[in-house]
């Protein structure tokens, strides 16, 4: 992983068991986001633009294949690599995913080692490509963006300015008599001047949105979004005077100076305007600055400036845009909360008939706590999963019934329940083949065994309620907690929402509010954002 960047991963799976397990595997090394449906995955991908997506194939309503196809058609998400994580392990399924431009394929039940290696390999490739792209967009001599980078940025800002009817300014900057300087002091000193001039732009422009680039030779260009001519001319004068103040050391121990001429063109782009025409007008203004004596600023259609001018205030909309662009994504998402496990839990799980805990833990790298955590959350979902499968079967919806059974099958394999997994596999196959009679006759047995397993697991993980003395909670604290949690859920950041709601547990806000907070926290642990929001919005603040 790139040491300077904490990469982000979006995990998509309709089964909470898999979401929790993958999050716990990855969260120490990466920022992890989660989504439990195809529609939620697309929203999260557009909102978060993660570096990598781990995507389940079989999901109700919208399959992983459909999600991949949608993301690849969107300019903002098409380059995000996607690894399919699925129980479909036939060569045909793998070929289909890879043919649709999936980056890799991980079969369920997955091992910790395989997941970590394939995620690491994909993110190393992502970081390498970014480094190459960055190098290809940077001028190697001056260290600032090159012409290609400038063209890309101007195109983006031009489209935005045209849509929102905002002003945009371009500066063309040329070092005066640079050929004579090179002939006098040598090309090595000339290179030093190019570096110093490029570096001076940052100190001259206290304006976060500017984009400076080397245009070619001794020419530079600066793009100023959301800036009209009245603001751009004073900024250009600051650039000119900043270069004039530079001290250039000569080989003989003396010093010298250089100056620049600057041409500025400003406009609010319309459908009739072109980027090429805008550059030509800025270049014409530069020519006028040269012709009228050099070391000066000239706006297209404006008089040349030799002294500093007083700049006007930035437009409010530009300030709002700068504020909106601040990255608020946290560097790290904590592991999802769960009960504390001990050796007694693991010992009890090992005694259960039909579960091979040793084999399951081997796939998880021998991490007992990770295994216990996964089984615990599976146990909490068994009853809900059984109800879901029964509803689909009674409605004759064999497609969604097979998807629900597939999820249970994959989870059973992951916790080491091979025999139950085989029963689920037969049901899945029959559902796919349209054999409703077999499903109706065999499902009750699977359901009975699952509910029996649920009873055994509940007994193992039962936590006696312990009463604690809570601090009185203030109305302002409650309001801040609720607003922060809802804001986090709007950003698909269930981890942040969980931690926020969890912070409210130690306060006493009254019986009704305490119950709603408890219900919201339990829903978040189950990845049920809708129920969490419902409870939070019922809290009176």
Assigned token pair, 336:
């999802």
Q: For 55, phi and psi rounded to 5 degrees?
A: -125, 125
Rg (CA), the chain: 31
Query: Under a CB-based contact definition with an 8 Å cutoff, are residues 319 and 328 in contact?
Result: no
The residues, any chain, with a CB within 8 Å of residue 27's CB and separated by 6 or more, are: 332, 333, 334, 335
Peptide bond into 349 cis (omega under 30): no
Tokens of 47: 């909102």
**Which strand (E) or helix (H) includes residue 277?**
helix 275-291
Question: From its phi and psi, is residue 175 left (phi > 0), alpha (psi between -120 and 50) or beta?
Answer: beta
SS3 33: strand
What stretch of H or E contains 103?
A: none
Burial of 189 (C-beta count, 10 Å sphere; 0-12/13-18/19+): middle
Helix (H) or strand (E) holding 242: helix 229-244
Residues 6 or more apart in contact with residue 333 via CB below 8 angstroms? 23, 27, 31, 32, 33, 493, 495, 496
H or E element that contains 502? helix 494-502
Sign of the torsion angle spanned by Cα atoms 48, 53, 56, 61: positive
- The residues carrying an active-site annotation are 218
- Phi, psi of 9, rounded to the nearest 5 degrees: -130, 130
Residue tagged 């054999």 (tokens) = 435
Contacts of 328 (CB under 8 A, 6+ apart): none
- Contacts (Cβ under 8 Å, ≥6 apart) of 274: none
φ, ψ at 86 (rounded to 5°): -155, 160
DSSP state of 334: P
CA distances from 26 to 79, 330, 491 (A): 21, 15, 20
CA 263 to chain centre: 39
- CA dist 385 and 522 (Å) reads 17
């Amino acid at each position: 992983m790139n040491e300077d960047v904490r990469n982000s991963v979006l995990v998509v799976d309709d089964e909470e068991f898999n979401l929790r397990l993958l999050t716990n595997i990855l969260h120490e090394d990466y920022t992890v986001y989660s989504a439990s449906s195809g529609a939620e995955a697309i929203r999260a991908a557009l909102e978060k633009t993660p570096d990598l997506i781990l995507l389940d194939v079989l999901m109700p309503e919208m399959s992983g294949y459909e999600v991949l196809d949608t993301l690849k058609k969107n300019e903002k998400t098409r380059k995000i690599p996607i690894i399919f994580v699925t129980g479909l392990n036939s060569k045909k399924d793998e070929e289909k995913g890879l043919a649709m431009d999936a980056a890799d394929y991980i079969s369920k039940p997955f091992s910790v080692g395989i997941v970590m290696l394939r995620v690491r390999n994909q993110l190393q490739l992502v970081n390498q490509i970014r480094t190459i792209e960055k190098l290809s967009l940077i001028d190697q001599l001056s260290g600032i963006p090159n012409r290609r980078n400038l063209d890309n940025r101007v195109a983006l800002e031009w489209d935005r300015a045209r849509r929102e009817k905002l002003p945009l300014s371009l500066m063309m900057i040329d070092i005066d008599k640079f050929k004579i300087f090179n002939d006098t002091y040598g090309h090595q000193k000339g290179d030093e001047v190019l570096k110093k001039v490029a570096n001076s732009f940052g100190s001259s422009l206290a304006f976060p949105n500017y984009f400076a680039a080397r245009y070619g030779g001794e020419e530079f260009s600066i793009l100023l979004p959301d800036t009209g001519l009245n603001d751009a001319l004073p900024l250009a004068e600051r650039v000119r005077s900043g270069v004039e103040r530079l001290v250039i050391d000569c080989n003989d121990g003396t010093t010298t100076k250089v100056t620049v001429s600057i041409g500025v063109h400003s406009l609010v782009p319309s459908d009739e305007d072109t980027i090429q025409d805008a550059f030509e007008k800025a270049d014409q203004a530069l020519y006028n600055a040269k012709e009228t004596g050099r070391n000066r600023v000239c706006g297209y259609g404006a008089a040349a400036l030799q002294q500093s001018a007083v700049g006007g205030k930035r437009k409010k909309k530009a300030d709002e845009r700068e504020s909106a662009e601040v990255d608020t994504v946290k560097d790290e998402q904590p592991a999802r909360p769960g009960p504390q496990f001990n050796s007694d839990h693991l010992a009890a799980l090992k005694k259960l008939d039909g579960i091979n805990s040793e084999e399951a833990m081997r796939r998880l790298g021998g991490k007992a706590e990770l295994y216990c955590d996964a089984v615990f959350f599976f146990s909490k979902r068994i009853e809900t999963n059984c109800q879901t499968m029964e509803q689909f079967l009674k409605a004759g919806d064999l497609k969604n019934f097979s998807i629900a059974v597939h999820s249970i099958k994959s989870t059973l394999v992951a916790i080491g329940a091979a025999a139950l997994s085989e029963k689920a596999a037969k049901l899945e196959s029959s559902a796919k083949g349209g054999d409703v009679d077999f499903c109706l006759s065999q499902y009750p047995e699977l359901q009975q065994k699952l509910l029996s397993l649920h009873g055994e697991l509940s007994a193992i993980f039962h936590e006696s309620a312990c009463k604690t003395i809570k601090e009185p909670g203030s109305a302002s604290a409650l309001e801040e907690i609720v607003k922060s949690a809802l804001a986090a859920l709007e950003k698909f950041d269930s981890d942040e929402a969980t931690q926020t709601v969890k912070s409210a547990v130690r306060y006493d806000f009254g019986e009704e509010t305490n119950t709603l907070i408890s219900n919201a926290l339990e829903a978040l642990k189950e990845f049920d954002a809708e129920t969490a929001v419902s409870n939070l919005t019922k809290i009176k603040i």
